[in-house]
Amino acid sequence: MKIHEYQAKALMAEFGIPVPRGGLATAPAQARARAQELGGKVVLKAQVYAGGRGKAGGIRVANSPEEAENLAGQMLGTRLVTHQTGPEGVPLSKLLVEEALDIHKELYLSILVDGCRRMPVMMASEAGGVDIEEVARISPERIVRSYIDPVIGFQPFMARRLAYGMNLPGELVRPATQLMANLYKLFMAKDCSLAEINPLVITVDGRLLALDAKLNFDDSGLFRHPEIRELRDTEQEEPLEVEASNQNVSYIKLDGDVGCMVNGAGLAMATMDIVKLYGAEPANFLDVGGGANEQQVAAALKIILNDPKVKRVLINIFGGILRCDVAARGIVAAAMETQVKVPMVVRMRGTNVDEGRQILAESGMNIILASDLRDAAQKVAAARI
Amino acid sequence: MSIIADENTRLVVQGITGNEGSFHTRRCIQYGTQVVAGVTPGKGGTMFDDTIPVFNRVEEAVKETGANASLIFVPPAFAADAILEAADAGLALAVCITEGIPTLDMVAVLRYLEGKSTRLIGPNCPGIISPPARCKIGIMPGDIHHPGSIGVVSRSGTLTYEAVAQLTELGLGQSTCIGIGGDPTPGTDFIPVLRLFEKDPDTEAVVLIGEIGGSMEQEAAEVIKNEMTKPVVAFVVGATAPPGRRMGHAGAIISGASGTAKAKLEALQAAGATIAPSPAEIGLTLREVLKGRG
């Protein structure tokens, strides 16, 4: 799960990590008031769930409270289009108004779980403020890492490796050590999947602050953090994806026109891949889940059919725990209710496949049955309304 | 012969009285697995289906029944504890089906398992099945499997069933099929499984199915290149997945250059694995590879 920068900064401040002074504005007059409180010159930062804000005009400097009000008026209520959002962009309805700092140097700091070493790793770099993937590609020697064994937790020597590794001036090593220890505490306490400060800045007056802040959370850990779950901003998410998550269906919207409904994440990806291989484009990823019942199957198919881009549907069910007859009843229920107009190709296999096919045949619906995965991909690629 | 699960497996099911636990326990017994005990705290002293004793603790179950492997159906919030209990009881194998265990719980569990004799498969996996030994420890449909000499290892569940069904239809039976699970930090990754298949005299060839995210396939490629004499057919799903989005499985998210299907396939191919041209042709590709070897 993602949260906004202003929420991440509030959490960081709670854990003792220095952040710039600032506050939220949802209206131009409020931006003006915030700027006044902060002493005039401020930075307005669009609060959206997408990277690449700066280049897209989502971060603006205002030299006075009046200018802050004007700029906020231009920004609020629009949609911000960045290289990560797609052409429709994301709604811009919140601004973080922050004191403008005089920056001496930009650094990078993050924690995530390293799948290979199977423990958290803290990464730091002297090259901050840019995409860390780029730094890793061009000059990997500028990234320093400390792996954190959960038995001993984060230790000062790990912090020193990072602090000296990014060439911090001597007087900042101690505050940096404290900041890193606090970031590790936050990461562990809230089940983060990523805690990233990019840039971590040294100001001209020699302070160390988190100028930007990104916290992502492990979805599997949310059950023990209701306070984090509440921070979710569904306005920033694709409406069909929000609906899917309410129905406990794993769904991601894409740009193609072949709606895909599959049981199992791996088979769902395989189905998307083979659709593409046969010359069509998948409209979505959708895993109905292993233990789905008839209602969930119906809800999943309705989500696909509610996407206006979907011109044809491919259903691929390998019956295991989810029986084919249950899936078939769900498909028929959803199709009846939505009066489906687009062609549907169905491939079924496994538990109770004969009953499943019979239910589809007796429904009188215009369903194209496929014998295997390849046949299904060919038939859906050829299907037209 | 098979690897990890075989005739000598004596299974205890943790969470045997739950919905999923009881359903799949019956399926495992039907397939031929020796299920000797169940564990549900608070239900010790009762019997499951009149035949299998239920205990409060794994340690007790081991002492009373000689169980040497565990199958875990415990909700995410309590699953890490269940795995630790299995390891503490000294079981050689723990297979955890549970999906949605917090990553940081697993970090602690995996650290605890280091130096212990317990092999963990999963979590978030379909389990392991050895058709020649009629031993199934998991939730996969037993009837699509057939005894034979192909080893299958995969990060997926239903896609593994798809691949196995393709093999069986072509008359290519399996020695052992293992779903290592869709989490970013599985208890057992590709590498030990590849090594066991290489050593197993009754495994002739291996099918490896990867996914986007992480770099497990690249690490597997190193082992294929340096240690495997048996042919490997590989496929990696997620070529059409957008970066930065979690595709169902917690581990299936492209967050770096090594996470793409393309990078993984290139590494596997460079290591000498044969890449199936599509997920519908995993079985056919393997048949061609075996023909080529005579």
User: pLDDT by residue (tens digit) across A256-292?
Assistant: 999 999 999 999 999 999 999 999 999 999 999 877 8
A26-40, A49-63, A129-143, B155-169: least confident range: A129-143
Mean pLDDT value across chain A? 94
Q: Chain A partners of B182 at a C-beta cutoff of 8 Å?
A: 265-266
Q: How far is B97 from chain A (nearest CA, A)?
A: 12
Does this model's pTM top 0.90? My answer is yes
Question: Stretch A88-107: mean pLDDT, rounded?
Answer: 95
Q: Does B170 touch chain A (CB under 8 A)?
A: no
At residue A366, the pLDDT reads: 84
B145 is catalytic: no
Nearest to B219 among A116, A254, A373 (CB): A116
Q: What is the pLDDT of residue B249?
A: 86
Strand bridging mode B11-14 / A59-62: unpaired
Interchain CB distance below 8 Å, B256 and A269: no
Q: Dmax of chain B from CA atoms? A: 58
Across the interface, whether the CB atoms of B104 and A254 are under 8 A apart is answered: no
Residue with tokens 């299998």: B52
Q: In this complex, do A269 and B247 lie within 8 Å of one another by their Cβ atoms?
A: yes
Print burial letters for A242-268: b (CB count within 10 Å at least 16), e (below 16): ebbbebebbbbbbebbbbbbbbbbbbb
Give the Cβ contact number of residue B220 at 10 Å: 26
**CB proximity B158 to A under 8 Å:** yes
pLDDT at A373: 94
Q: Considering only the C-alpha atoms of chain A, give the largest distance between any 2 of them, rounded to a whole number of Å.
A: 78
Nearest by CB to residue A269, choosing from B185, B211, B278, is: B211
Q: Is the peptide bond before A199 cis (omega within 30 degrees of 0)?
A: yes
Report the pLDDT value the prediction gives residue A144, as an integer from 0 to 100: 96
Cβ pair A133:B256 closer than 8 A: yes
Query: Are A265 and B247 an interchain contact pair (Cβ–Cβ within 8 Å)?
Result: yes
Q: Which residues in A lie closer than 8 A to residue B155 (C-beta atoms)?
A: 266
Interface of B with A in 15-34 (CB under 8 A): 20
Positions in chain B short of pLDDT 50: none
Per CB-CB distance under 8 Å, the chain A contacts of B158 are 262-264, 266-267, 290, 318, 320
Nearest to A220 among B100, B247, B280 (CB): B100
Contact call for residues B252 and B184 (beta carbons, < 8 A):
no
What confidence tens digit (pLDDT) does each residue in A102-150 have? 999 999 999 999 988 899 999 999 999 888 888 888 888 999 999 999 9
Q: How many CB atoms lie within 10 A of CB B131?
A: 24
Query: Which amino acid is present at B202?
Result: D
Q: For chain A, what percent of residues have pLDDT higher than 70?
A: 100
A176-180's contacts with Cβ under 8 Å and 24+ in sequence apart are A176/A208, A178/A16, A179/A16, A179/A17, A179/A18, A179/A109, A179/A208, A180/A109, A180/A122, A180/A154
Asked whether the predicted pLDDT for residue A385 surpasses 70, the reply is no
In this predicted model, which residue has the larger pLDDT, A55 or B164? B164
Q: Which residues pair with A24 in a beta bridge?
A: A96
Q: Would you say the ipTM is above 0.90?
A: yes
Binary contact (A267, B158; C-beta < 8 A): yes
User: Could you say which of B162, B216, B219 has the minimum Cβ distance to residue A373?
Assistant: B162
Q: How far apart are CA A125 and CA A133, in angstroms?
A: 12
Cross-chain residue pair A373–B280, CB shorter than 8 Å:
yes
Q: How confident is the model at residue A365 (pLDDT cuts 50, 70, 90)?
A: confident
For residue A217, pLDDT over 80 is answered with yes
